Each structure stands twice: as C-alpha cells, then as structure tokens.
Amino acid sequence: MKLKEIKEILQAKIICSKNLLDIEIHFAGAADLMSDALAFGEPGLLLLTGLTNSQSIRTADIIGAKAVVYVRGKKPAKDVIEFAQSKKIPVLLTKFMMFTACGRLFSHNLPGVHEFKEKKTNAR
C-alpha cells in the first residue's frame, strides 16, 4: 500500500517529506512506549504513536521505519519535524485514536508486523 493511500484512509495531514508519498508500506505497528517499538520494530514498518517527542523519530530511524503517524490529533514540535525531515522520515498526523487508526488500516488489508512476518515465513 502506498503512503498516499494511508494518508487518505487515516484522513491524515502530511507535515514533512511530502515527496515520499509514493513509498510502499507493507505492514504497521503501534506503540506509545518506544521500548515496545524497538522490541517489535522491523525495517519498513509504519509506526503509529501518540508520542510526539524526538524519541519517536529516533526510534523510527533505529528500526528503519518508513514513516511515522501521530495519532489522537497530536502535533510534534518544530524541532521534531526538522529532525524527521533530516532523517527523511515522512510524518503524518491523524485525528483518530490509535485503536481506530490501526483498525482502519487493518480493514484495508495492511497487516501488523507479526502477521507480516508470519506470512513471509510461511511463504518460504
């Protein structure tokens, strides 16, 4: 699924790296605890979170996430947006609660990280 499709599904606003809307997203994960994101994160992940400080972008960079979606209408500070831009990590904002955002994506066939890993393992 392309990031621009995710933007539409989540009725989101993209606030940085707008030129990357054509990247492919194959799975997602959601966490407000970045230690959880570090534990389940995989390269290529779409990270949904309500944590809007620079730690969320740092975590996304470490795990190789393709993009970050901030939920619950939260907006990061300017320095966080600039940090994401420097790392070339697209950032989207959605008004939806995390549960609803994940449900909307799942109902459009975007699997969670564990489902994606299982599918990949079973395909071998």
Across the chain, mean pLDDT equals 92
pLDDT in the model for residue 17 = 83
pLDDT in the model for residue 111 = 93
Coil, helix or strand for 29?
A: strand
Range of the domain at 29: 3-118
Outline where 17-112 has alpha helix (H). 34-40, 54-63, 78-86, 98-107
Within a domain: residue 42? yes
Q: Check whether 91 has a pLDDT greater than 60.
A: yes
Within a domain: residue 22? yes
| Total domains in the fold of the chain | 1
What's the chain's length in residues?
A: 124
10-68: pLDDT as tens digits: 999 999 988 888 999 999 999 999 999 999 999 999 999 999 999 999 999 999 999 99
Q: Check whether 118 has a pLDDT greater than 80.
A: no
Within a domain: residue 124? no
Which CATH number does the domain housing residue 92 bear? Answer: 3.40.1390.20
57-14-42-76 Cα dihedral, nearest 10 degrees: 20
